Homo-oligomer: A and B are copies of this chain.
Amino acid sequence: MDAMARIEQALQAAMARIELPGGPPRLAAAMRHSVFPRGARVRPRLCLAVAAACGEDDPLITDAAAAAIELLHCASLVHDDLPAFDNAPTRRGRPSVHAAYGEPLAVLAGDALIVAAFETLARGAMGRPERLAPLVLAVGRAVGMPFGICAGQAWESEPEVVLAAYQQAKTGALFAASTMAGAAAAGAEPAPWRQLGECLGEAYQVVDDILDVTSSPEALGKPIGVDAALGRPNAAAQLGLPGAVARLEQLVAEAVGSIPPCPGAAELRALMLVEAQRRLPKELARSAA
C-alpha cells in the first residue's frame, strides 16, 4: 500500500472510533469535516518516509504515529480558524469548522482531536509498549507548551514576540515531531532526526508565506494576504520574492544534508527535493531551479 493510502486508512480507523454509536453525532461530523477530504498530508507522509528510511519493522505503530500527527495538525487548524484567532470562514475551499458547525463544536472538535491523537498512539503501540512514551513525548512537545503549536499561537498574544521561537513553535515543531516520531516508530533514536524536521518546517513556512502574497483564494482554497492583514511576519514580505525563494533553496539543501546515516537515506534525499519543488507555484519553481 502506498503512503497516502496507509495514512487515509489509519485516519479512517481513528474516525471510526470517534463515530462509535452513542456519541453526539454533530461533534463527530465536525471532526470528520476537519480531517476529510484530505489535504496534502505533508507531515504524516514525512513521518512514514523517515520510518521507511530507518528500516521500519512495525507498520502499525508507524501508521499510528502518522495519523496522530495529522489529527493534531487538523486540531490546530480548527482552533486557528476560530473567531478568537484568524476568524477564517473557509479552509481547503470549504467552510471552516466553526462556520459549518458553530463555535462550540469547533472548540470541542479541536479538543477531541488532540485526545484522539494520543489514543491512536496508545492503540498502535500495543505490540511495542517501550516505544509509546518516546512517541507521546515527541508529539506532545510539538503541540503543547512551552515549544509546540499552542506556544507558537500564544506568541501572537504576547506584548513582545521572540520571532524565532514563534516560527519554530508554530510550524517547525510539528515537522520535527514528524521526523522524530517516524524514527521512534521504527525503533531508531529520534534526536538525530530533529534538524531535518526543523529545516523542512521552516521551508514549508517560507512556501506558505510566498503563497500568501502571490496566490489567489481560488488556487489556495483559503483567503490570501492574511499575514499582512493580521500584521504577522512573512518571509516574502521581509526578504522580497527572490530573497524568499533563495532562502527556501538554502533550507532544502540544509535539510537534505542533515539526513542521518540510515538504510534508506538516498531515497529520502530524492523525495525531499521532489516535494520541495512540488509545492511552489510553477513560475517560481522554474526560476528557482
Give residues in A with beta carbon < 8 Å to B: 17-28, 31, 75, 79, 82, 84-85, 101-105, 107-108, 110-112, 114-116, 118-119, 121-123, 125-126, 129-130, 132-133, 136-137, 140-141, 143-148, 150-151, 153-158, 162, 165, 169
Tell me the number of copies of this protein. Answer: 2
Other-chain contact of A20, B28, B121, B146 (Cβ < 8 Å): B146
When the two chains form their complex, are residues A27 and B111 in contact, meaning their CB atoms are under 8 A apart? no
Q: Which residues of B contact A107 (CB under 8 A)?
A: 79, 82, 84-85, 107
Q: Which residues of B contact A126 (CB under 8 A)?
A: 133
Q: Which residues of B contact A112 (CB under 8 A)?
A: 144-145, 148, 150-151
How many Å lie between the Cα of A75 and that of B140 in the bound state?
A: 16
CB contact under 8 A between A143 and B157, given known A125-B133, A129-B132, A150-B108: no
CB contact under 8 A between A84 and B103, given known A23-B147, A140-B119, A154-B27: yes
When the two chains form their complex, are residues B146 and A119 in contact, meaning their CB atoms are under 8 A apart? no
When the two chains form their complex, are residues A121 and B146 in contact, meaning their CB atoms are under 8 A apart? no
Q: Which residues of B contact A111 (CB under 8 A)?
A: 75, 79, 110-111, 114, 143-144, 150
How many Å lie between the Cα of A129 and that of B22 in the bound state?
A: 32
Q: A27-B150, A114-B115, A116-B140 are in contact. List 19 more A-B contacts (CB 8 A).
A: A18-B145, A23-B151, A24-B146, A24-B155, A24-B158, A25-B158, A31-B145, A79-B111, A84-B103, A108-B157, A111-B111, A111-B150, A115-B140, A115-B150, A129-B130, A129-B132, A129-B133, A132-B133, A136-B136
Smallest beta-carbon distance A124→chain B, Å = 9
How many Å lie between the Cα of A79 and that of B111 in the bound state?
A: 9
Closest chain B residue to A165, Cβ basis: B22
Q: Which residues of B contact A101 (CB under 8 A)?
A: 157
